Amino acid sequence: MSLLEVKDLSVSFPTPDGLVRAVQGANFSVDAGKTLGIVGESGSGKSVACMTVMGLVRGARVSGQVLFDGRDVLAMREDDRRRLRGAEIGMVFQDPLSSLHPLYKVGWQIAEAVRAHERVSWRAAQVRAMEMLALVGIPNPARRVEEYPYQFSGGMRQRAMIAMSLVLQPKLLIADEPTTALDVTVQAQIIELIRQLQGDFAMAVIMVTHDLGVVAGMADHVAVMYAGKVVEYAERRHLYYTPAHPYTKGLLASLPTRSRGKARLAQIAGQPPSLISLPPGCSFHPRCPVVTERCRAEEPTFLSLTGDDAVQGAACWLARPPARAVHPAAAKGPVP
């Protein structure tokens, strides 16, 4: 059984302009010790789905199941969800500056996370905070625990957020766009840090990003979301080398590579649709280069494409079981 299994999850928000259908019938899972990448453009429903897993959505209409270690998070009482957050599921948010309280010292905030779940002395919690800051690569942690978030650089604040998320050694870490606001060098350091700590703590990871390149070297499986739906789900090497959905192909084509030289990057035409008034049929059809009349009229079902050693699926009328000629580098690291 998977550590986390999301079944037919739908999340919508009533607004004066209409119902925002942020997530529609999403299905995905992650096993203990494995990594799931959830990718897609801004507004595709990635963050809302993960916030729902954490039980952090408010004022939303939620249906479906979120099974964590066999327990349905959506059916829990709020007190039980509060005990789950932090202790068993940790989350690193996109902007650490807004996630860390500006009026409290970094060490105090990490120690408070410990004391919220465990009966330990303040001194013991402070020691744990210093140990975690050292573990995530922050120099001189004994001094840094006494500093405020504004005294940390962007990369150091993100490391502090990771330290806070992992101080209780959760079974699952959700990293929601953890590198978006960082420069390329620091991005690589944070990704490598998460990968290293995943091995140290034997935890599962959900990496949420708009960039397929970020998860190329670390995800075991990838879920591609568009307009609130999971439009493709596959093992990493099959998704990168035999993508089935036109949207996935467009995202991959837009990745920068050395072979492109000075050529312009490929773009996906148009803009994502409004989640209040989705187009009929396939939500991607106004932007799809291979659209058919059936795509415009009928919403596609999720078609399972069984491979030789993995399961791949896509919500596309044109999806076919792909040829399994997989590039050998796919199992070893990032796409070149």
Per residue in 209-262, pLDDT (tens digit) is: 888 888 888 899 999 999 999 999 999 988 999 999 999 999 998 887 776 667
Task: List, in order of start, the domains of the chain with CATH numbers.
Answer: 4-223 (3.40.50.300)
Q: Of the candidates 60, 43, 50, 72, which has an alpha carbon nearest to the alpha carbon of residue 165? A: 50
- Predicted local distance difference test score (pLDDT) of residue 114: 94
Of 36-40, 92-96, 112-116, 181-185, least confident by mean pLDDT is 181-185
* Gap between the Cα atoms of 219 and 130, Å rounded: 30
Q: Are 313 and 243 in contact (CB under 8 A)?
A: no
Per-residue pLDDT at 324 exceeds 80: no
> What Rg value do the Cα atoms of the chain yield, rounded?
21
pTM, rounded to two decimals? 0.89
* Gap between the Cα atoms of 88 and 80, Å rounded: 11
* Gap between the Cα atoms of 77 and 300, Å rounded: 36
Pairing of strands 89-92, 172-176: parallel
Which segments of the chain does DSSP mark as H helices, in order?
A: 46-53, 78-84, 96-99, 106-115, 122-135, 141-144, 154-166, 184-201, 212-215, 236-241, 246-253, 293-297
Question: Above pLDDT 70, what percent of the chain?
Answer: 92
Tell me the two tokens of residue 218. Answer: 């670390």
Tell me the two tokens of residue 265. Answer: 């990057």
Residue 188's Cβ-side half-sphere holds a number of Cα atoms within 13 Å equal to: 3
